Amino acid sequence: MKIQDIREKDKGFYLIALDEGKDLILHGEIVARHHLKPGQEIDPQELERCKNDALRRKARERAYYLLEYRDHSEGELYQKLCRHYPGPIAAEAVAKCKEYGLLDDAAYAKKLAEYYLNRKLFSFRRALMEMGKKGLDRQLAKESLKAVQADPVEQLEKIIQKRYAKKLGQGKEGRQKVFAALARLGFDYEDIKTALSEYNWEENEDE
């Protein structure tokens, strides 16, 4: 197989015209790395290496784009890249991002734990589930959540004040609905009982 022509296409990319009519578009970096020139014979193996290098570059660029948008765990980034690229190439892109300091699962887990528990007021159970969806190791997620030391009763009191204060004034039925709603959020029954008891006590004191 022979390279008939190499001409610049746009933004650093080149069109490689082959004598069999199979044109190929490669970044200039890959053209230079493989020393491609017009008139050069290129065997199928070398052509395949060029294509794989092009895929690697695309995978890295995709990874950088995703990380520019928001933080990711290694697992989450890998899964997203696998939607478009072969597993080994996706893994290489993840490894390169980690090498450059663009991925840090421990730091990401700490950030998410604080966000879910302190800002979103998620229960420990729900926060753990959400962190799992982000591709974080379960043990790392647990340790990060424990380190935040969020008080579930305080979380519940804030949630009650924000969302369910009016329902508590609707008698026993209203209280039962609030209890059920809080249980669905993943909080333990004993913590819910304590929070409801303390909340009502504060209301009675105000009266």
Number of C-beta neighbours around residue 135 at 10 A:
17
Half-sphere exposure of 21 (CA within 13 A, CB side): 0
Query: Rounded CA gap, 187 and 151, in Å?
Result: 11
For the chain, the average pLDDT equals 90
Between CA 206 and CA 127 the distance in angstroms is 34
For residue range 102-154, list pLDDT tens digits in order.
999 999 999 999 999 999 999 999 999 999 999 999 999 999 999 999 999 99
What lies within 8 Å, CB to CB, of 18 at 6+ separation is 1, 2, 3, 4, 24, 42
Evaluate whether the domain defined by 57-103 bears CATH number 1.10.10.
Answer: yes
pLDDT at 200: 57
pLDDT range class, residue 34, cuts 50, 70, 90: confident
Report the distance separating Cα 107 and Cα 155, nearest Å: 23
Instruction: Work out the pLDDT band at 206, boundaries 50, 70, 90.
Output: very low
Q: Give the tens place of pLDDT for each residue, 10-29.
A: 888 988 888 877 788 888 88
Which residue type sits at 61?
E
Q: Is the pLDDT reported for residue 199 higher than 80?
A: no
pTM given for the model: 0.80
